[in-house]
């Protein structure tokens, strides 16, 4: 029996966020805001934290610096019951970090300092330990320099050979991303970018046409996170949209990552594809109501109660 329900591999950073920020003060002046929060974040971090809150057993594989920011992330993970035994600590690079000035409407302009996430390297001798799970979620391709050079594709291929269900998310796509996906998507059951990212990469505008591009490249299914519109899902045999929930938005940081965490948790609980997307959508909506990548989410019962009692957007 696998040791974990799910392992989450990839981008893990420290976020320092403040809200609401209408403008940066000029010169050396000060503006007063309501809230500042520090929390782990990133394409893997936001997913694993929310999956852990929803009650599945989780492990993470990430790289942070040997600094106070890395200590903070590992401490927070420990409090959530996330296994950190496969976490890496860079000897030479500080923890990746972001400053976020959250606007009143929830938008999140970011100032990012790349760091130890670029040093993350999972080698073949570590693949079996990483894949001692039923599900593998890989997040952050595009900002994982060492993994993007080939190990990500090799790890996902190994996971599939071991019978794991794989899901995959990207960040900051550019002209090199499609080349990376050529080697990765044949080993991915659920490709989970934002709709805007998928449209940029495919050069298409209609969701079905966008999805066809990635399905043809080998992805088993496309789950496109679509902001207030919820998500769009397409497989070789079906397509549907899961509408979002009506909430008062505080901060959209980590909404897509938390969707992935809720989705993986749903699959781990044996739910159907649509039901897993529903859990991801509800998780994401709650994260939008507070500050930070895991804020707003308490546990599975709370998320399900929210989903059952909250109106949907069109």
Residue 86 lies in a domain: yes
Instruction: Name the average pLDDT for the chain.
Output: 96
Average pLDDT of the segment spanning 11-17:
96
Residue 71 lies in a domain: yes
Report CA-CA distances (Å) from 243 to 70, 114, 196, 311.
36, 34, 17, 10
Q: What is the pLDDT of residues 80-101, one digit of tens each?
A: 999 999 999 999 999 999 999 9
**pLDDT(251) > 90:** no
Average pLDDT of the segment spanning 27-39:
94
CATH number for position 262: 3.40.1190.20
Q: What is the helix (H) or strand (E) element at residue 63, kind and residue range?
A: strand 63-65
pLDDT, residue 120, reads 97
What φ, ψ does residue 289 adopt, rounded to 5°?
Answer: -85, -5
Per the structure, the complete domain to which residue 10 belongs is given by 4-309
**pLDDT(107) > 90:** no
Give Cβ neighbours of residue 32 (< 8 Å, ≥ 6 apart).
none
CB 140, CB 171: distance < 8 Å:
yes
CB neighbour class for 308 (10 Å; exposed up to 12, middle 13-18, buried from 19): exposed
pTM across the whole model = 0.96
pLDDT, residue 292, reads 87
Residue 314 lies in a domain: no
Domain count, the chain: 1
């Amino acid at each position: 029996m696998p040791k974990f329900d799910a392992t989450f591999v990839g981008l893990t950073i420290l976020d320092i966020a403040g809200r609401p920020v209408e403008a940066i003060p000029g010169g050396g002046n000060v503006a007063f805001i309501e809230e500042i929060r520090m929390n782990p974040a990133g394409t893997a971090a936001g997913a694993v934290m929310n999956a852990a809150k929803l009650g599945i057993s989780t492990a993470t594989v990430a790289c942070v610096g040997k600094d106070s920011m890395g200590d903070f992330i590992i401490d927070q993970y420990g409090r959530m019951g996330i296994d950190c035994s496969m976490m890496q600590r860079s000897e030479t690079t500080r923890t990746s970090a972001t400053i976020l000035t959250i606007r009143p409407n929830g938008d999140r302009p970011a100032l990012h300092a790349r760091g130890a996430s670029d040093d993350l390297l999972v080698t073949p001798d570590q693949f079996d330990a990483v894949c001692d799970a039923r599900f593998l979620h890989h997040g952050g391709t595009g900002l994982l320099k060492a993994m993007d050079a080939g190990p990500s594709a090799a790890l996902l291929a190994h996971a599939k050979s071991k019978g794991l269900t794989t899901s995959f998310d990207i960040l900051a796509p550019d002209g090199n991303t499609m080349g990376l996906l050529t080697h990765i998507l044949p080993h991915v059951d659920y490709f989970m970018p934002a709709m805007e990212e998928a449209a940029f990469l495919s050069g298409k505008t209609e969701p079905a046409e966008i999805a066809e591009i990635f399905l043809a490249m080998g992805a088993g299914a496309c789950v496109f996170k679509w902001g207030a519109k919820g998500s769009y899902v397409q497989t070789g045999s079906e397509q549907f949209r899961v509408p979002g929930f009506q909430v008062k938005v505080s901060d959209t940081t980590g909404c897509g990552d938390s969707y992935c965490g809720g989705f993986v948790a749903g699959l781990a609980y044996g739910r159907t594809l649509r039901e897993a997307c529903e859990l991801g959508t509800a998780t994401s909506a709650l994260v939008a109501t507070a500050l930070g990548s895991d804020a707003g989410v308490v546990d599975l019962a709370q998320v399900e109660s929210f989903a059952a009692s909250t109106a949907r957007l069109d």
